[in-house]
Structures are given as C-alpha cells and as structure tokens.
Structure 1
Amino acid sequence: MLMVTINSSIVIISLPAIFRGIELDPLAPGNVGYLLWLLMGFLLTSAVLVVMFGRLGDMYGRVRIYNGGFVVFTVAAVALSVDPFDHGGGALWLIGWRVVQGVGGAMLMANAAAILTDAFPADQRGVALGINQVAAVAGSFLGLLIGGLLAEWDWKAIFWVSVPFGLVGTVWSYRSLHDSGIRTPGRLDLPGTLTFALGLTALLTGITYGIQPHGGAKTGWTNPWVLSAVVAGSALLALFCLIEFRTRQPMFDLALFGSRTFALGNLAALLAAIGRGGLQFMLIIWLQGIWLPLHGYDYESTPLWAGIYLLPLTIGFLVSGPLAGWFSDRYGGRLFATGGLLLAAATFVALVLIPVDFDYRLFALIILLNGLGMGIFTSPNTAEVMSAVPAERRGVASGMRATLMNGGMALSIGIFFSLMVVGMSPTLPGAMDEGLRAQGVSADVAGQVAELPPVGSLFATLLGYNPLRELLGPSGTLDQPGVDAAELTGEQFFPHLISGPFHSGLIAVFGAAGLMMLLGAFASWFARDKRG
C-alpha cells in the first residue's frame, strides 16, 4: 500500500524533470492535456476499477487478486523506467503505462483492507488497518520527498524505485499470503461495471478539465464539452445506481450503505480525501511559487525542497496513525475519528491566518498538527467501517472505500484549482498589470499578460518554472529597451507580485477544505460506534 500511494504522488513533484527528460514543454498550447493526464491517469484508473477488483476478490479469492496486482504493478514500473520515446510520444508512453499501473494499484488497494480484516480479530483490527491505512495516506506525501530527491538524479529513477519492491513483494505475497476469507460465488455485474466505469471517468474528466480556461472565461466551466461530460457522467452514475438496486449480484453493494457506520464513515473518508488532495497541491504551489523563491531558492530546485519542507506533514501521519488504531481498539473509534478531523479543520483555519511569507517554524507546526489530525482520524475510521461489513462482503466493501478515497483525490484537482482561480481572479489582473508596467513592460503587453487565466501561472509554479519567464519570454518582451528583465525574472519579483491574490485564493481553498473537515467530523460523530 505504501508503494502504491507513493506512486500516486511521486509524479506530481517530478513533473519538471519528466518533461525535461522527454523534451516536451507542458505549458505550450496543446500540451496541457499531457500534464493533466499524467496527474490524474493513475488516480482515475484505480478509482474506476477498484470496486470491480474488490468484487472479483470476493468471488475468486482476495489474495489471488492482490497477488496479481503485484505482477501488473511491477511490469508497468519496468515499462515506465525505460521510456524509449521523446516529445509527445514519450508522454503518451508514460500516460499509457501509468494507466496500466493504476490497474495493478486497484487490484492491491481493493483487497488489502479486506485481507487484513479477515486475518485479525476485532480487538486487533484497529492497529492492523491503521498501519495499512496510514501507510497508504503517508505514501502520498512521502512520494513528494522521494520524487524530489530522485528526480534531481535521473527522472526515470522515480519509476525504478518501484521495481525492486514490486519484485520482492510479488514473490513474498505468492509465498506467504493465504486466503482466510469467505468466498462468495457469483458472476461479475457487467452492466453495473460498464456504467460505473464510464460514468466516473466522464465525471472526473469533466471536473478536471474544468480548470482549463475556455473562451474569455478563467476556467472551463462554460465549456460545453466540460458541462456535457459532467452531466453525462452524473446520468450514467444515476443509471448505475438503478442497475445496482435491481441486480441480484451487484458490483457496488448499495445495501451496505444501510449501515450508518458504513455510510457516514465513508462520507467522512471521502471528505477527508478531497481536503487532503487539495492541501497537497496548494502547499506545493505555495512553497514552489512563493515561499522558496522569496528565501533564495531558484525555481529549478523548488520541487526537491518543497518535498523536504513538507516532511512534518508526513511525520504527523506516521506517528499518530498506529497510535490512534491502538487506542481505538480499546476505547472505540468515534471520539478519535471526530477529534482528528476537528484538529485538521483548525489547521486549515491556521494556514489562512498566517502570512504568505511565513515563519517556517510556525508553518511546520501547523502542517505537523494537520498530519496528526488526519492520522488520528484515518485508523479508527477504517477499522470501524470495515468491521461493520459482513465477512463475505469485505472485498467489495474495501473496493468501495478505496474508490471513494481515490475518487476524492482525483476530484480535488478540479475542485481546488477552480477555487484557487476564482479566489485569485478579482485581484490578480490589477496587481500583475501594475507590477509589470512598473518594470518597463508596455501597457499593451502588461494588460494582455494580466488578463491571462491564473491557471497558467499556477501550473508554471507547480512545474518548477519561473512564470514570468514563461509568460514574457516567447514574445521577446524581456529583450525590449527599458524593460528590467533581470528584476522581472528574478526570484523575488513574481512571489511578491502574486502574494496578495494568492492569499485570496487560499482563503477560498482552505475555507472549503476546513468546511469539509467539519462536515466529516459531524459524520464521524453520528456514525454508530459498535462499542456504544
């Protein structure tokens, strides 16, 4: 689970090295699609397929599907590390094999929690599932650090790292794991599988592409294709629910939501996953685009240092997760799950209150507390939800849970980038126009750059590029007489310019994330605690 989720985030921090390695400019017109699919291909595939593999685990054995997942995952890791192409072909190779790797990841994620639930008695499940779930969540942040370190050496190394773990894991799982769960004979629900896969793919793709500008709008929410994808995806998912209610052997057992513990526990997990994904992206942009350049780091090195400076967040997960699982085994999970999300909500408020150019010690304390809160929530939540499921349905329940969490991470890309753009749009054009003209840029060019959608600057900082060099360089503006090119492309100018608008965006983003944590805490409190 640790390796699977490391691979879900390791690409995010390594995107600059990847695109340099395949000699492709991701910000050039027509290339943004490569960027989006590299970001979401793994998450989307695993979210779509994980329930199906959970159902297959119930039917044919959870360990068998889990072991097969190791094989698929490892083959894809090998293929990713030997990309033979450059430019668009190289990007398509990586996207295709990331999708295949997502299939293997789905096979692993769908059955890991169910195998552990089968293997451990009720009074030990909190610790066992807590360690597993914390490994899964912590992996998404460890991937940032590992990706930053390895990408500095060789971009292909971010994929090499999975190969030895995959090979050893494949051999180990085939030799050591044995099915102890109850099998449920039956057949695969093909109508449900197809409508779910198509509906979720259309919905998540539409929401993700909603961050791309359309026409004169700053986002793509007026794009007919985006709206059509969201509407069609929602309609297909509604049809899927109707099919599942009527079929005798459903893939997505909606009857499980009749359990208050299962329903509210999964709602809380979904909200936490969306908020966690938004936090991850926004902290990377904050560090790479503003704080690190203000403190003397060049843009090319910011991906590595962003991973390093986010270590307190990961440490919080690793410390609190197993401990919360141990305590929840003895005292019940409701108080811990609720308290963890309340702590996380408080940290989102704190992140809005600190200045954009913060004191790192305060920032480190806040993200440490956020990691602690998420870890305190995750272990008890997982144990309570999985323990509420009949033994013969644990595979499909584990898959349903993984779908909600992976879908939440994929949703966070579209939701929080859109919120950031909306939050920045009122003040960014004026600040950009005034700042550029003060450095000698003509009024026409300054006005044109100021009206560009903020998502271009956000993507540039995410990729470790100097945004103004990317925006002004191709037009030759930096070479014009009277233009202070050194100041414009220095490490201080853009961070100072964007600080005010960026903080406005943070209010929208972290305000929404904090509200999600509060709603998740509310759901956790009213989920039935089996210990009363």
Structure 2
Amino acid sequence: MDKKLFLIVFPVVFTANIFLLDFNTTIIAMPAIIDEFDLSLRLASWIILSASIVMTALLMPIGRIADLISRKTFYIFSLILALFGIILASFASNVYILILFKTISAIGTTGTSIMMFVIVTVTFPKKYQGLGLSIITTSVALGMMITPFIGGLMLDNYGWRYAYRIIGFLGIFTVLMTFLFVPKMERSEVERKSLDIIGMLYFIFIMTLFVFIINDPISFGFFSIFHSLMIIAFSVLIFLFYKYEKKQLQPILNFHNYKKPSYLWGSISRMTGFVGFSVLMFLNPIFLQKIIGLSETSVGTILLYSGTGTVIASAISGRLSDKFGHKIFTVTGMLLSATANLCLSFLANNFDLSIFTLLMFINGFGIGMWMAPNMSAVLSSIDKDQYGSVSAYLNLIRNIGTTVGQSLAATILVIFLSTGVVTAQLSDINSNSPDEILSLFINGWRTTLIISSIIVFISSFASFKTK
C-alpha cells in the first residue's frame, strides 16, 4: 500500500485517540472536579451528559449537513471547534462554564467522528478501503485500552486543568497533520432540498427533552406537573416525528427497518448493552477513588485491564463471527458482562482489588465479544445503499444507551444519598467518612450494578432473538 495512504489515515487515528483521551480523562477526573467545585452528583453528571446529549441529538443532522460543504474543511473546522472547547474548559471558574465548553467541544467531536470513516472511504482506492477502516477500528480499540492509563497519569501529576491543556496541545499537532496530509475531497452531490430539516429539528427536540426527563426527575418529583408535562410533550413529539418521517422519501430515521427482526432485536440489544456498560464506566471511577481511596493512576490501570479484555475479544469475535455466525458471540458476550456486573455488586463490603480487576477484564471481554457481531447483525439486515445512514444510527443508539446509563446511575445514587435518615453530598464523601455516610453510597452503588446486570441480561435475550 502507498505510504501516502498511511499519512492520510495517521491524523485520523490520532484524532480519534485524542478524543478518547479527553473522554477517559474526564471520567477519571470526576471526583477531583466534584471536590473542587463542591458539586452534587446530580449537577456533576451534566459534565458528561452535556456531551452525550449533543452527540445524541446532533449526530444524524450533522451527518447530513456535512455532505453540503467541503469534507476536508468540515473535518478541520470540527477538529478546531472540539479543541477550542477542551482548552477553554481548562480555565473554567465554575461548573457551568465547564459544562458550556465541554458542550462546544462535543459538537466538534461529533463532526470529526462522522468524517473519520468518510475520509478513508473517499481517499483510499477500493482495494485498500477495508485495510484503512480496519486500521482505524484497531487503533480506536487500542486507544480504549491505553487512554485511561495515560489520563490517570496526567491527572495524578498535573491535575485535570493541565491535563486538558496537554490534550489541546496534542490536538493542535493533529490539525497541522490534517492540513498537510489529508487531500482535498470532492463535495458529494446532495441537493439542499433533500435535507430533512423538519425531521432534524424534531429529532433534536426529542432527544434533548428525553435527557432532561431521565436525568433529574428528583428535583421536581417523578409525578410533578412539570415532569408529567415533559413526558406528555415527549410522547406527542415522538408521535408527530413518526407520522412525518413515514411520508419522507429520504427520512432522517427509516422506521420501516424495524419490521426486520434482526434490525429490531439487534437495536434493542445494542441499546440495553450500552446502558449497562455506561453505568459501570460512570460509577466505578467514583467508587474506587471516593470509597476505596485509590489514586487516579490506579483507577486508570484498572480501566486499562477492562479495555484489554475488549481488544482481545474484538479481535476474536470480529473474525470468527463471519464463520460461525453472530449469535453465539453476542449472547455469550452479554452473559459474561451481566455476570461480571452482578459479581461486582457484592464486592463493596469485602473489597478485593485483584477480584475487582478480574471482573472488569471479564466485563470488557464480554463487551468486545458482543460489539462487532452486533453491528454486523444489524447491517446485514439492510440494503447496501443504507450502510451510511445505518452506521450513523448505530452510533446514535450507542450514544442514547450511554446517556440513559449515566442518567440512571446518577439518579439512583442521588436517591440513596438524599432520601435516607442521613443525607450527604458526594463532594463530602471520602474513604474516611463515617460508616453511615459510606453505607449510603455503597448501597446505591450496589443497587445500580444489580439493575445494570438485569438490563444487560435483557440485552443477551435480545441478542438471542436476533436472527
């Protein structure tokens, strides 16, 4: 393969791992940010949820808009916007400014994530496209394994503010590589009139309202008038969106695909699988630092083992599922993940670091076994001319599942911390807190993991139903 093609894919791979480093650094830094700004868990969760809601609401609309302008220009603009948000977030004087700039960064990250595979598909000769795409997916899998450890090291040595600035500096290097090595790409032939603008607006409002409904029902009450009105508005928007999209020749979301069992059950499995996985990734760094008292580097190392399991299993299942079918890998993977979640819930009072790390590896291994075969099952159920839109849809399902999981974890934990005989803010909790306070968090953590394991068992059942 021509060396120029490696130069094209290198900044793309580097970009993907920059944003993985940003995400994992934020996850591990949550306890430090909570302590610095004296935050409740409810408010702290918005640091991550703000990015999730942007990516969930804008993924498919931005994907359509990207077809209207120069692809290289769009990619560079998205990259600069993302880095702008990351760097300015490091100077945040309060949590609201931090959330604002993380939201801006998420808009740019959404644009770059859409364009990564497009760049390879457009610039690589057809006979090398598979190799180019495999380079990206393998590099991302390795990034998922390594970036938590790197993020932990940066946080231990420099703190979260300087960690963001280091990430921003590395990203500037990526912008320069993109200018130098990524060639100009022709703009695709898309008519502006074909854009489903109304469908995009429906979608943005629906997903935004959805996150508000599930993230903070306690502040205004589950059965309050305000919460009930939001649920009614959400239901009405879903109905109107469905009726409108069914009449469109080029809908933003094709509802006819749900008539296909593999598409329907594969989507359910994907949604519930990422709900369970995101619960674990959101809560465990807080648990390990706040309750167990581990350092950020140690937490990053544990997440490294989880990522290692994902990489190993992905390499196995990706190849063998073509030969033996996807079902054995998706069902087994989710069963392993659900069992690991359930076992983790029993470690709170008798914590053993070795067993905890082993269970995180098993969870990661299960996710790795399931992920690629699940995508393959859904994609194999549709026509080739829908591959692009359905690939965006699969990313959308992942983002929705992640958002739901994080919101679920935060809500359950807040219930335990605020509705008991003794109440506590997360910023006040550490490994030396009174037993009454620690038990509030531990009981909430255990309950959340048990619920997440049930959700992942549902994902395994949905995988079994996927043909």
Give the TM-score range, shorter chain. 0.7 to 0.9
User: Where is the helix percentage greater, Structure 1 or Structure 2?
Assistant: 2
Note the C-alpha offset of 1:276: 0.9
Aligned to 2:8: none
Matches within 5 A, 1:143-158: 144-152=148-156, 153-154=158-159, 155-158=161-164
Aligned to 1:279: 280
Note the C-alpha offset of 1:47: 0.7
Note the C-alpha offset of 1:372: 0.3
Higher radius of gyration, 1 or 2: 1
Note the C-alpha offset of 1:197: 0.2
Counterpart AA for 2:204: A
Aligned to 1:4: 19
Is the aligned partner of 1:50 residue 2:51? no
CA displacement 1:464-521 (0-9 Å, x = unmatched): xx428xxxxxxxxxxxxxxxxxxxxxx4343x43454444334431222112212211
Aligned partner (choices 403, 426, 432) of residue 492 of structure 1: 432
- C-alpha separation between the residues in 1 aligned to 2:354 and 2:37? 37
- C-alpha separation between the residues in 2 aligned to 1:524 and 1:69? 35
Aligned to 2:259: 258
Counterpart AA for 2:39: P
Note the C-alpha offset of 1:397: 1.2
Q: Comparing 391-400 with 414-423, which one deviates more in the overlay?
A: 414-423
CA displacement 1:424-475 (0-9 Å, x = unmatched): 778x52xxxxxxxxxxxxxxxxxxxx1x3x5x23xx2xxxxx428xxxxxxx
Counterpart AA for 1:521: S
Counterpart AA for 2:375: T
Aligned to 1:477: none
CA RMSD of aligned residues (A): 3.7
Q: 1:333, 1:384 within 8 Å by CA — same for their partners in 2?
A: yes
Note the C-alpha offset of 1:344: 0.6
Q: 1:83 to 1:179 in 2, by over 3 A?
A: closer
Aligned partner (choices 434, 455, 458) of residue 516 of structure 1: 455
The aligned length equals 448
Note the C-alpha offset of 1:129: 6.9
Q: 1:110, 1:395 within 8 Å by CA — same for their partners in 2?
A: no
Note the C-alpha offset of 1:244: 0.9
- C-alpha separation between the residues in 1 aligned to 2:329 and 2:133? 15
Aligned to 1:87: 93
Aligned to 1:480: none
Is the aligned partner of 1:191 residue 2:204? no
Aligned to 1:339: 332
Q: 1:256, 1:262 within 8 Å by CA — same for their partners in 2?
A: yes
Matches within 5 A, 1:95-494: 95-110=99-114, 112=116, 144-152=148-156, 153-154=158-159, 155-165=161-171, 167-168=173-174, 171-172=177-178, 175-176=181-182, 187-210=194-217, 212-214=218-220, 220-292=221-293, 302-422=295-415, 428-429=420-421, 450=422, 452=423, 456-457=425-426, 460=427, 466-467=428-429, 491-494=431-434
Aligned to 1:26: 39
Aligned to 2:464: 525
Q: Kindly, what percent of the aligned residue pairs are identical?
A: 20
Q: 1:316, 1:369 within 8 Å by CA — same for their partners in 2?
A: yes
Q: 1:343 to 1:207 in 2, by over 3 A?
A: same
Q: 1:512 to 1:128 in 2, by over 3 A?
A: farther
Counterpart AA for 1:38: I
Q: 1:366 to 1:177 in 2, by over 3 A?
A: farther
Q: 1:80, 1:94 within 8 Å by CA — same for their partners in 2?
A: no
Q: 1:253 to 1:187 in 2, by over 3 A?
A: same
Q: 1:5 to 1:223 in 2, by over 3 A?
A: farther
Q: 2:345, 2:445 within 8 Å by CA — same for their partners in 1?
A: yes
Note the C-alpha offset of 1:347: 0.9
Counterpart AA for 1:75: L
Aligned with 2:56: secondary structure?
A: helix
Q: Comparing 389-398 with 269-278, which one deviates more in the overlay?
A: 389-398
CA displacement 1:168-207 (0-9 Å, x = unmatched): 2674498457989996656211111111101110110231
Note the C-alpha offset of 1:343: 0.8
Q: 5+ unaligned residues in a row in structure 1: which ranges?
A: 215-219, 430-449, 461-465, 469-490
Q: 2:417, 2:441 within 8 Å by CA — same for their partners in 1?
A: yes
Aligned to 2:74: 68
Q: 1:150 to 1:231 in 2, by over 3 A?
A: farther
- C-alpha separation between the residues in 2 aligned to 1:160 and 1:514? 36
Counterpart AA for 2:436: L
Note the C-alpha offset of 1:374: 0.4
Q: 1:111, 1:395 within 8 Å by CA — same for their partners in 2?
A: no
Q: 1:288, 1:306 within 8 Å by CA — same for their partners in 2?
A: yes
- C-alpha separation between the residues in 1 aligned to 2:369 and 2:179? 29
Q: 1:505 to 1:467 in 2, by over 3 A?
A: closer
- C-alpha separation between the residues in 1 aligned to 2:384 and 2:172? 29
Task: Report the TM-score when normalising by structure 2.
Answer: 0.82
Q: 1:503 to 1:98 in 2, by over 3 A?
A: closer
Q: 1:503 to 1:405 in 2, by over 3 A?
A: same
Q: 2:155, 2:296 within 8 Å by CA — same for their partners in 1?
A: no
Note the C-alpha offset of 1:240: 1.4
Note the C-alpha offset of 1:277: 1.0
Q: 1:410 to 1:173 in 2, by over 3 A?
A: farther
Aligned to 1:37: 46
Note the C-alpha offset of 1:264: 1.8
Aligned with 2:351: secondary structure?
A: coil
Q: 1:148, 1:304 within 8 Å by CA — same for their partners in 2?
A: yes
